[in-house]
Structure 1
Amino acid sequence: MRGSYGDRDRGRDRGPRFGSSSRRSPPPPKFGNPGERLRKKKWNLDELPKFEKNFYNENQEIQRMTQYDLEEFRRKKEITVRGSGCPKPVTHFHQAQFPQYVMDVLLHQNFKEPTPIQAQGFPLALSGRDMVGIAQTGSGKTLAYLLPAIVHINHQPYLERGDGPICLVLAPTRELAQQVQQVAYEYGKSSRIKSTCVYGGAPKGPQIRDLERGTEICIATPGRLIDFLEVGKTNLRRCTYLVLDEADRMLDMGFEPQIRKIVDQIRPDRQTLMWSATWPKEVRQLAEDFLKEYVQINVGALELSANHNILQIVDVCMETEKDNKLMQLMEEIMAEKENKTIIFVETKKRCDELTRRMRRDGLFRTSPKRQAEQPGTILGAKTAPPLCNATTA
């Protein structure tokens, strides 16, 4: 085993290898329904190797917290808890009793105290419980599941040749997956935990090599991970810590069939953590299907609402007024040197029209070569490329 809470002694016994059965030859290439060659596994819990997932010991400071203090803290932080057996929140990082190598990175990042979702999420995730975390984007959800994941990994047997990841994080987009992988690298490198990012739109070779060399944390988009599972480039026999990040967005993007096929490849006694910004019925159904006796943490309101930290101005006008109002607005925006702008339009034709007018009016200057390569894209020092096929305001 990996040893004590913060100790990774390489001299210790590696422990049993999970899923030591030989791998079948990869199936031939396929087209059509992603994951159609994957079959739902029939798990026998009596035959599966046992693993640890409860590593939480309540700090003495937290033990002295009264029921009044607990309710007052949750009220101030807008934390709502649903479910039984939820541990008390921590008010400082040291109360979560993370190993020293994790605390060193937190101190280096100059973090003062946990965010609300972290305060309640840390003890819950460390205790090995399934959980749902509902909080707006930018609330610190990534650390809320990655730091407990590092502790979880350090208590499992070391990876052996042919083993897949211990922690799997499913994310809806390449950008989010890369952000999570960067955080996983920063906090995992002190204990030599390897992480990799698997997503579409990039060469498969380097991603396959990372998986074949062995990686404890895999952050993946569902489509690319399905591809690798089908051809036998990785497996989820060792996965005991599953994270569904931005679950509502993955469902909006139509990933539910792929998610279900991936989860079918993971042992049912795993620890599962689902994170979402909203709580629609589709996400609730996913939680009921994948999680067992879970606790739900909600920070703020459950209803979808605008981010009050962003100034939003709505100008209702006639169709014939749009162009002039846009040009006037762009002139105001361009008065500030560092401003960047994204303009959403309904069609590519409309995008081309705006591009030509802005160039004609001298708002943007583009080289003839670049203009020929990208006729429908406005490029300038003060703008970002506008996007087509979006709904106009």
Structure 2
Amino acid sequence: MGSKRKIEEVDAVVAEGAAPVKAEKKDKKDKKEKKERKEKKSKEAKEDQESKKPKSEKKAKKETTEDKPAKKSKNEVKSEEVEESSGPTPYQEHPDLANVSQSTIEEFYKEHRITLNAQRALKPLTSFSYLRVDPKIKSGLSKFKDPTPIQAMSWPYLFAGSDAIGIAETGSGKTLAFGVPGMQHIFNLPDSRGVRMLVVSPTRELAMQTAENLTNLGDACGIKVACLYGGVSKHSQVQELKRASIVVGTPGRLLDMINEGACDVSKVSFLVLDEADRMLDKGFEEDIRKIITATPTEGRQTVMFSATWPEEVRKLANTFMTNPTKITIGSDDLAASQSVTQLVEVLEDSRAKSQRLVQLLKQYQSGAKKNDRILIFALYKKEASRVENDLKYKGFNVAAIHGDMQQHARTAALEEFKSGRCPLLVATDVAARGLDIPAVELVINLTFPLTIEDYVHRIGRTGRGGRSGIAITMFTKEDKQHSGSLINVLKAAGQEVPEELMAFGTTVKKKPHSAYGAFFKEDDGSMKKATKITFD
């Protein structure tokens, strides 16, 4: 009985405590409902007031709200800044250049026989003072007086980011024509790490020379250059690649290192094909196409320089270039330098060449001219080696360069000749293209080359950089198939054509295909399609 009374007392106490809690909850609920009713009433009054306003005022308020930009996140702002800075820098003409009259520009075109095919005409940079590049790059040009015609014409379009084709004779300064815009292109990039500029050259010697010129220009700017060519170890070249922003290379070694993963060209945005016609003549077309395909298609500026403009080069340009500007100095066709005096000596017996060579060397290396540089071209490697040994036996200070020599020996011989320590150099056609050897006074063609193109490039080793030169060619009956082509080159340059040469005829032999020779025939669609034969 006592326990039952205790339970009832506890229940009473709990009930008394619960009553105030319930009352408190009810008060809160009432206050909340009252507040919501007040807010609703206020909102309805506001909407009613808004509806009474004129329409024009509402529209203005809406437009103001829409025009107000949305707040961007930090990541969005950062990516937008990078995107803006990574775009191509628009070309800005120098104020002084704007004052140059149109008649002065036309006179420049006429004087240098310039042909321009472009979507818009930009004034040539005929003075270094018009050049708007980084001061470090400009300091590397201080030793030159004025830009050459190919430089003056190509620079505005390359600075503007256009694809470009330059057709000009050898010795016209094409390396700086693409080198200066290429360097500035790298300067403009927000991130220049990795290979950004790629130059493809036909021969080891030309690749080395181009790399040397670009290195001289890049040293002041802190831009590193790597040179890739065969005949030497890849290890040192791989080490150079790690620091390089510019790569110069021959097609074979370049493709090898791309395939091996040692040379990453996925960031290349400035591509140069130097001496494009020569590379196609040497059968590098397939390698070149593979190299170009390995580089990015979007955002890549492609530049092509060539001495001639044959059909093969046109097809390559049409495949990989976008609306290119084409600049021709002189002619699209093969033409010899106007600064070279060409002399052709027709010999009845090829065995008389050795004796005549010694006579010429004594004539052109006597007295004050004893240290004049003379470049002697032979057709075959064995011939070059034999002529070198023969001249050494007769007391001449002579070196040689040909394909049978190790690369270090070729480089050493070339340096001896360039420095003047060895004034005579016997060479095969590895030295015929692109090599800029200063102050070569005389070129002697001991044996006529296989093509007229090689003849033009051989004699182009003299008469460079505004100087004059002489080229003497020994011609025999074994070379008569080239007589017509040689006569055309001589006439085009205003040179004298010997009667003995005219006697061989003026017929020009059709140039054979690089792979299929004289038997190659272009498919014109007339060939019947293969018929499928089925047997029962």
Q: TM-score, normalised by structure 1?
A: 0.75
Contact 1:83 1:295 in 2 (8 A): yes
- What is residue 328 of structure 1 aligned with on the other side? 359
Contact 2:109 2:115 in 1 (8 A): yes
> 2 CA distance for matches of 1:349 and 1:178?
24
Using CA pairs under 8 Å that are at least 6 residues apart, name the structure with larger relative contact order, 1 or 2.
Answer: 1
> 1 CA distance for matches of 2:448 and 2:84?
50
Change (3 A) 1:351 1:204: closer
- What is residue 292 of structure 1 aligned with on the other side? 322
Does residue 276 in structure 1 map to residue 311 in structure 2? Answer: no
How does 1:56-71 map onto structure 2 within 5 Å?
Answer: 56-71=91-106
> 1 CA distance for matches of 2:397 and 2:196?
51
Identity %: 35
> 1 CA distance for matches of 2:234 and 2:363?
45
> 2 CA distance for matches of 1:183 and 1:343?
25
Match of 1:228 among 227, 238, 257: 257
- What is residue 53 of structure 2 aligned with on the other side? none
Write the letter of the residue equivalent to 1:175: E
| Alpha-carbon displacement from aligned partner over 1:114-159 (angstroms, at most 9, x marks no partner) | 2111111111100000000111122121111111111111122325
Contact 1:130 1:293 in 2 (8 A): yes
Larger Rg: 2
Q: Where is the helix percentage greater, Structure 1 or Structure 2?
A: 2
Contact 1:229 1:235 in 2 (8 A): yes
1:179, CA displacement in angstroms?
1.8
1:113, CA displacement in angstroms?
2.2
> 2 CA distance for matches of 1:342 and 1:76?
30
1:351, CA displacement in angstroms?
6.2
What secondary structure is seen at the aligned counterpart in 2 of 1:384?
A: strand
What secondary structure is seen at the aligned counterpart in 2 of 1:157?
A: coil
- What is residue 170 of structure 2 aligned with on the other side? 137
1:249, CA displacement in angstroms?
1.3
1:295, CA displacement in angstroms?
0.7
* Consecutive unaligned residues in structure 2, runs of 5 or more: 1-77, 399-404, 406-420, 430-446, 450-473, 476-536
- What is residue 262 of structure 1 aligned with on the other side? 291
RMSD, matched Cα: 3.5
Moved more, 143-152 or 181-190: 181-190
> 2 CA distance for matches of 1:171 and 1:359?
33
1:71, CA displacement in angstroms?
2.2
- What is residue 122 of structure 1 aligned with on the other side? 155
Write the letter of the residue equivalent to 1:282: E
Q: TM-score, normalised by structure 2?
A: 0.56
What secondary structure is seen at the aligned counterpart in 2 of 1:208?
A: helix
Contact 2:226 2:240 in 1 (8 A): yes
Does residue 301 in structure 1 map to residue 334 in structure 2? Answer: no
Change (3 A) 1:215 1:330: closer
1:76, CA displacement in angstroms?
2.6
- What is residue 203 of structure 1 aligned with on the other side? 233
Contact 1:84 1:295 in 2 (8 A): yes
Match of 1:384 among 425, 433, 437: 425
> 1 CA distance for matches of 2:448 and 2:101?
51
Contact 1:167 1:242 in 2 (8 A): yes
> 2 CA distance for matches of 1:223 and 1:74?
38
- What is residue 13 of structure 2 aligned with on the other side? none
> 1 CA distance for matches of 2:270 and 2:388?
48
Write the letter of the residue equivalent to 1:157: P
> 1 CA distance for matches of 2:264 and 2:208?
21
> 2 CA distance for matches of 1:332 and 1:88?
47
Match of 1:310 among 340, 343, 362: 340
> 1 CA distance for matches of 2:215 and 2:379?
39
| Alpha-carbon displacement from aligned partner over 1:28-59 (angstroms, at most 9, x marks no partner) | xxxxxxxxxxxxxxxxxxxx999433441112
Does residue 154 in structure 1 map to residue 195 in structure 2? Answer: no
> 2 CA distance for matches of 1:250 and 1:72?
34
- What is residue 185 of structure 1 aligned with on the other side? 215
Contact 1:194 1:216 in 2 (8 A): yes
> 1 CA distance for matches of 2:423 and 2:385?
18
> 1 CA distance for matches of 2:377 and 2:107?
44
How many residue pairs match? The answer is 335
What secondary structure is seen at the aligned counterpart in 1 of 2:343?
A: coil
> 1 CA distance for matches of 2:388 and 2:138?
51
> 2 CA distance for matches of 1:51 and 1:339?
51
| Alpha-carbon displacement from aligned partner over 1:307-338 (angstroms, at most 9, x marks no partner) | 23223221112116445434433443453422
| Alpha-carbon displacement from aligned partner over 1:173-192 (angstroms, at most 9, x marks no partner) | 12222222222222222332
> 1 CA distance for matches of 2:102 and 2:422?
56
Contact 2:377 2:426 in 1 (8 A): no
- What is residue 29 of structure 1 aligned with on the other side? none
1:101, CA displacement in angstroms?
1.8
- What is residue 108 of structure 2 aligned with on the other side? 73
Change (3 A) 1:101 1:301: same
- What is residue 247 of structure 1 aligned with on the other side? 276
1:343, CA displacement in angstroms?
4.4
Contact 2:89 2:188 in 1 (8 A): no
